[in-house]
Amino acid sequence: MSYNNAIRPYPECCNHSAEPDRRDDCKHDKKKPKCKRCGNLVQDFSFESQYGPWVASNVTFTNTDVYEGAIQARLGPGVASLYQIVSLEGVCRSPMLFSFNAVGSPLLGVQQELTLGILIAEVAWLDSNYNQIGLGLRMVIPGGRINSTAKITFFAQTDRPPEDTAFAKISFSKGSPSFMSEADFIFIDGVLLAPMAYTDLIRNGDFEANLFEWVANPDGDTAFLSSYKESLEGAGHALTQVNGNLSQDISVGHLPPQTSFLLSFAAQGTGNVGLTVRIEWLDYNDNPIGSGLNVSIPNETLNNQQNYLSYLFVSYPMVPGTATARLTFYATVPTTADFLRLDNVIFAPVLTQNLVNNPSFEDGLNYWQQSLVNLIERNDVYEGTADAGIGQIGGALWQDVDLYDPEGKCYLFSTGLGFRKTIETADFGTMIMKVIWLDRFDRELGVGLSLVSNRVLPTDTNTFIEWIPFAGVTEPAPAGTVRARILFSKTDSEGFIEVDNVVFAQLV
């Protein structure tokens, strides 16, 4: 899929209050504070300062096969906890995008479900005296879901903070497994908490209430059943062992014209299962009037992952006359011995469409500039039919995207990185992902975001390709910014790193 760079202006209101349940916290109202703060609110999000602003119990910091940067937090063995309190000054009761990456100990044996404890990730709302006055989010990751074969990037959204909220407390708590093991470790890295303009519109996106609010086709206990075994998060998920689709109609007529949407979900599959995801725009008579998204996961990708794989997309804008967004998952499952699982669906309005042209390389390397980059066309890419691969001698890939009135605004960046071994013992070197602010003369004004993937050890999985989603939110763009350069650069290494599904969009 590809996007154009059409950008629409939004009113200078911190909450874009066309959403019915939003407070009217406009900067034009002098009685209420400006909503001037954006970006990742987490201090030391990848633990580079080790303890720094984090408070930890039974937590150490390691450099073993780190997700982002050079250091990660290791919880365990046994009971462990980690938390940080962040100020919410200037965010005006915005809901928050929450994300982190987790993986189990590489020392685990085959009985992994018996050797890892449960993980709970929580965002709590505190008043100015640090008393808890609400719970924004509580994610329960069952014991055994996090393993050593795949790094899982979790995405979620909090609710809106209560009126008197002054702080958010981000906490991770790890339980003890049924059978203690010296290898009972969970590694946490890349923690993100960033304001969004709108709340999630999906209903029962975690499938805890069976398939309530979802429509399965064919029905009659044939395709997409509710299952409570091996969920990504919580107790429930949707499962199918035959071809079928699962859809939900979402009312969007109350939103500003040309609104785009962030869609996130996680999928797991065994066998040659494929998944196509579509967003259709419907008018007030439920007639289709346009397409917002059409993406496909090829039939070797999920089986290779050996666990859930998360995805994040941003749709095209709604077309005029849109009243409903129809979200549909189409599963292709060759035999009843195979299966496909879905969990943790998010559908939230954002303030721009994806600003990247040709984000999934379906149009080759057009719109991108590159050095020593190859187009990879295989059945195990992250999404679509192709990706951009940077090989053993390293290389670089970049695109400059135009921005509308970006000063003081923050942007979500995300991508899937594929780590492809050329030999069994290959390592992957270092991939640096940057967002660089440019002025109208293409002079660099500063770095808005820098993420580092430093895979010094290969994964112990038997497959030769592992996909890992990365996400970050930029600092506010400085005065004079007119575009952003999205840059990937890789050092030499035996293993390839492949880039797919590059997203860059404004959240708030």
- Give me the pLDDT at residue 2, please: 40
In the chain, the number of structural domains is 3
Query: If DSSP codes are grouped into helix, strand and coil, which group holds residue 133?
Result: strand
- In this prediction, residue 52 has a pLDDT band, given cuts at 50, 70 and 90, of confident
Least confident of 48-62, 208-222, 262-276, 326-340: 208-222
Query: If DSSP codes are grouped into helix, strand and coil, which group holds residue 98?
Result: strand
Higher pLDDT, 147 or 467: 467
- Taking the alpha carbons at both ends of the chain, their separation in whole angstroms is 24
- In this prediction, residue 458 has a pLDDT band, given cuts at 50, 70 and 90, of low
Higher pLDDT, 173 or 495: 173
- In this prediction, residue 457 has a pLDDT band, given cuts at 50, 70 and 90, of low
Please tell me whether residues 193 and 239 are part of one structural domain.
Answer: no
- In this prediction, residue 422 has a pLDDT band, given cuts at 50, 70 and 90, of confident
Please tell me whether residues 346 and 371 are part of one structural domain.
Answer: no
Give mean pLDDT, residues 64-79: 93
Please tell me whether residues 74 and 182 are part of one structural domain.
Answer: yes
Q: Is 42 inside any structural domain? A: yes
pLDDT at 12 over 70: no
Please tell me whether residues 505 and 432 are part of one structural domain.
Answer: yes
- Give me the pLDDT at residue 284, please: 97
Please tell me whether residues 101 and 220 are part of one structural domain.
Answer: no
What tens digit of pLDDT does each residue of 191-244 get? 999 999 999 999 999 999 999 999 999 876 778 999 999 999 999 999 999 999
Q: Which of these, 418, 451, 411, 504, lies nearest to 191 by C-alpha position?
A: 451
Q: Is 414 inside any structural domain? A: yes
Q: Are 428 and 471 in contact (CB under 8 A)?
A: no
Please tell me whether residues 424 and 447 are part of one structural domain.
Answer: yes
To the nearest whole number, what is the mean pLDDT of the chain?
90
- Give me the pLDDT at residue 462, please: 54
Please tell me whether residues 260 and 161 are part of one structural domain.
Answer: no
Higher pLDDT, 107 or 102: 102
Which residue has tokens 């071809």? 243
Q: Which of these, 459, 423, 418, 431, lies nearest to 65 by C-alpha position?
A: 459
Please tell me whether residues 172 and 231 are part of one structural domain.
Answer: no
Q: Is 470 inside any structural domain? A: yes
- For the whole model, what pTM was predicted? 0.92
- In this prediction, residue 463 has a pLDDT band, given cuts at 50, 70 and 90, of low
Please tell me whether residues 219 and 274 are part of one structural domain.
Answer: yes
- Give me the pLDDT at residue 21, please: 42
CA-CA distance, 234 to 239, in Å (whole number)? 15
- Give me the pLDDT at residue 34, please: 66
Residue that is last in its domain, among 171, 197, 223: 197
- Give me the pLDDT at residue 455, please: 77
Please tell me whether residues 125 and 270 are part of one structural domain.
Answer: no
CA-CA distance, 123 to 33, in Å (whole number)? 23
Q: Is 24 inside any structural domain? A: no
Please tell me whether residues 423 and 489 are part of one structural domain.
Answer: yes
Give mean pLDDT, residues 305-329: 98
The domain in which residue 448 lies consists of 356-508
Q: Is 266 inside any structural domain? A: yes
CA-CA distance, 367 to 485, in Å (whole number)? 12
Q: CA separation (Å) from 375 to 360, 368, 371?
A: 11, 11, 12
Q: Is 205 inside any structural domain? A: no
Residue that is last in its domain, among 197, 225, 249: 197
- In this prediction, residue 64 has a pLDDT band, given cuts at 50, 70 and 90, of confident
Q: Is 57 inside any structural domain? A: yes
Residue that is last in its domain, among 350, 376, 402: 350
Q: Is 262 inside any structural domain? A: yes
CATH of the domain at 120: 2.60.120.260
pLDDT at 109 over 60: no
